Amino acid sequence: MTEKITKYPSSVLRRRAEEVSLDDETRTLIKRMKKAVKKHDGIGLAAPQIGESKRVIVLQTGDSFTALLNPEILEKSGEKITTKEGCLSVDGVWLDIDRAKKIKAKALTEEGEEVEVEAEDLLAVVLQHEIDHLNGVLFIDRAGLQKKIKSVILYYFKKYFYVFKKSR
């Protein structure tokens, strides 16, 4: 079964996800998320993106995956990095987003180990993006109001214009 990506403006993307414990249900969720990341060519995925309001994220680097349960950012550097971000839940929209260049986070691994992760550059951006999902925040919310309005219009235009073109 291939996981379908939950698309904006679904309400599951806008609410704070529930904390999880490491049990069979969470392990199954992690497997589903890994399949979805691989299938959809993502580098990160949060459980709300497959319709599950759970505090779980999965990151893919090459052929390896890292799952983090109940991740929380502890510290952010004052130094910023601007990257072009997109999201599987907001197809076709790419925006320059400012985020902390370095972060420190804590989480539980899928093996049950409590870890602190220090990340910078792309890894820090991906962690912030995915943890935002767990808090009901989308990357378009991090853009200025004008960019957000333009991106939402573009998203709906692409979504409905493509459907219109296909049916002709």
Tokens 């090459």 map to which residue? Answer: 62
Helix (H, G, I), strand (E, B) or coil at 144: coil
Amino acid at 88: L
Cα–Cα distance measured from residue 17 to residue 112, given in angstroms and rounded to the nearest whole number:
19
Amino acid at 156: Y
Cα–Cα distance measured from residue 75 to residue 66, given in angstroms and rounded to the nearest whole number:
20
Helix (H) or strand (E) holding 154: helix 145-167
Catalytic residue among 3, 52, 110, 130: 130
Residue 118: active-site member: no
Cα–Cα distance measured from residue 119 to residue 102, given in angstroms and rounded to the nearest whole number:
6
Question: DSSP readout, 1-28?
Answer: -PPPPPPTT-GGGGSPPBP--SSHHHHH
Query: Which amino acids are annotated catalytic?
Result: 130
